[in-house]
């Protein structure tokens, strides 16, 4: 019977720092004892085991799923193969490895496999959208012209989405100009003021985060268009988008402000600053990267909404840069109108517009990652030599 032991380390080796070019002495393992293996260490046998498990599970699932059992569908095949791979991998690892290593391998496979499947689904969606919209994406007029006087069945060398791009920029810009100050003030009230009112506001904000977009559109339609007589326009659509973006910005900003260390506030109070001076000159500058992320998340939520724009603005085929008069189109609304038309060329334009929208949203999230990335300050040590 062998005993699992840790490799012994001499006290002299543990106390002394490891210098470049110096090799540490090989630890002496007692005779008859087996060295305890770290679960995360990988060997050649582990790689071969994972490959064998993948091949064996794929062959077994192919035989059972497609030949013997009355199952069909690619998604079901991938899910069954993944489950079979975990079982095969656990069984093969148990033949040569101790129990704690097998458990570590199974949990690692499950943790990595879930995000991998989600990433594969997202990647396949993006690839399909780009591939179907490529016939229209290669034409420059697709980005520079509008659809005024262009039929849905027209060739791709005529018409474009310039009016939808301009409408999206105007509507989202107005929505952010309304929602960002309100969201920031709401977050400051919840995190810095506190009290019963802050708890009530936080509950309302969390409830509005899951608000369906159609409800926001109906609210603006009934209150502003029906009751107050505001015409259907880009401004009405911007109000609906602001209702959608406001809770996202407020909640994200509240989380960021609550993360700011309390010692900074106490130091500001100790220097004689008032509460609002502390918020303005200490808390907000410290949370600036997180607030930028909250802004980008709100923009990403507003830029992809369709139903509020459809109810409050309506679709159009011509260029309109006036947000207070006449309908104003947007990229999500253009995609919806092109898909429901049923024309093959219009559907290709819809996929192309969806590709542009995906690029915009992904660019916003990449920008958010760069904004929140901590800055590394590099210092250079300058040595002065005195000439004698």
Question: Torsion-angle region of residue 342: left (phi > 0), alpha (psi -120 to 50) or beta?
Answer: left
Domain boundary among 105, 138, 171: 138
Together in a domain, 207 and 123: no
What is the domain range of residue 52? Answer: 45-138
Number of domains in the chain: 2
Together in a domain, 134 and 169: no
Residues 137 and 207: their CA atoms lie apart, in Å, by 40
Together in a domain, 239 and 90: no
| Angle separating helix axes 99-137 and 344-372, nearest 10 degrees | 130
Residue 271 lies in a domain: yes
Nearest CA-CA partner of 232 in 182, 287, 171: 171
Residue 117 neighbours by CB distance under 10 Å: 14
Q: How does pLDDT run along the chain (388 residues), one tens digit per residue?
A: 444 444 444 444 444 455 555 555 555 555 554 445 555 556 777 788 888 888 988 888 888 888 777 777 777 888 888 888 888 888 888 888 888 888 888 888 878 877 887 888 888 888 999 999 899 888 888 888 888 888 888 888 888 888 898 999 899 999 999 999 999 999 999 888 877 888 888 888 888 888 888 888 899 999 988 888 888 888 999 999 999 999 999 998 998 998 888 888 888 888 888 888 888 888 888 888 888 888 888 888 888 888 888 888 888 888 888 888 888 888 898 998 888 888 888 899 999 999 999 888 888 777 767 766 655 444 454 444 444 4
Together in a domain, 106 and 250: no
Residue 27 lies in a domain: no
Predicted confidence at residue 38, as pLDDT, reads: 55
Residues 96 and 19: their CA atoms lie apart, in Å, by 37
Together in a domain, 233 and 322: yes
Distance of CA 75 to the CA centre of its chain: 23
Together in a domain, 251 and 110: no
Residue 20 lies in a domain: no
Together in a domain, 86 and 235: no
| Angle separating helix axes 288-303 and 344-372, nearest 10 degrees | 170
Residue 144 lies in a domain: no
Together in a domain, 196 and 123: no
Together in a domain, 177 and 303: yes
Together in a domain, 190 and 247: yes
Strand partners, 5: 35
Together in a domain, 62 and 178: no
Residue 231 lies in a domain: yes
Residues 256 and 353: their CA atoms lie apart, in Å, by 34
Predicted confidence at residue 351, as pLDDT, reads: 92
Residue 23 lies in a domain: no
Together in a domain, 118 and 188: no
Structure tokens at 37: 């293996």
pTM: predicted TM-score of the whole model, two decimal places: 0.71
Residue 102 lies in a domain: yes
Residue 326 lies in a domain: yes
CATH number at residue 203: 1.10.3720.10
Domain boundary among 103, 138, 173: 138
């Amino acid at each position: 019977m062998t005993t699992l032991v840790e490799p012994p380390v001499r006290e002299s080796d543990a106390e002394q720092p490891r210098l470049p070019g110096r090799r540490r002495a090989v630890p002496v393992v007692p005779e008859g004892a087996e060295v305890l293996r770290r679960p995360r260490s990988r060997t050649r046998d582990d790689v071969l085991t994972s490959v064998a498990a993948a091949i064996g599970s794929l062959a077994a699932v192919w035989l059972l799923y497609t030949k013997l059992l009355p199952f069909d569908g690619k998604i079901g095949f991938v899910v069954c193969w993944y489950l079979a791979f975990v079982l095969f991998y656990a069984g093969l690892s148990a033949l040569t490895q101790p129990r704690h290593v097998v458990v570590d391998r199974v949990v690692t496979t499950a943790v990595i496999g879930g995000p991998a499947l989600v990433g594969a689904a997202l990647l396949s969606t993006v690839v399909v959208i780009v591939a179907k919209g490529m016939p229209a994406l290669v034409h420059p007029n697709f980005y520079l012209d509008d659809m005024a006087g262009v039929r849905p069945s027209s060739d791709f060398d005529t018409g474009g989405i310039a009016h939808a791009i301009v409408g999206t920029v105007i509507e989202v810009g107005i929505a952010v100009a309304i929602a960002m100050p309100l969201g920031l003030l709401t977050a400051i009230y919840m995190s810095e003021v506190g009290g019963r009112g802050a708890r009530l506001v936080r509950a309302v904000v969390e409830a509005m985060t899951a608000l369906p977009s159609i409800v926001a559109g109906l609210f603006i339609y009934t209150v502003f268009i029906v009751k107050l007589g505001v015409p259907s326009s880009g401004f009405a659509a911007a109000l609906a988008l602001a209702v959608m973006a406001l809770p996202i910005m407020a909640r994200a900003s509240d989380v960021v402000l609550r993360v700011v260390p309390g010692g900074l506030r106490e130091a500001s109070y100790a220097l004689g600053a008032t509460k609002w001076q502390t918020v303005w000159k200490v808390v907000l500058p410290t949370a600036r990267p997180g607030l930028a992320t909250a802004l980008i998340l709100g923009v990403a939520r507003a830029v992809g909404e369709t139903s509020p724009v459809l109810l409050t603005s309506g679709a159009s085929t011509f260029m309109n840069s006036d947000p207070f008069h006449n309908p104003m189109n947007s990229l999500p609304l253009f995609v919806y109108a092109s898909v429901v038309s049923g024309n093959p060329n219009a559907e290709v334009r819809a996929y192309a517009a969806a590709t542009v929208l995906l690029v915009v949203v992904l660019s916003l999230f990449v920008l958010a990652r760069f904004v929140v990335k901590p800055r590394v300050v590099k210092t250079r040590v300058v040595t002065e030599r005195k000439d004698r």
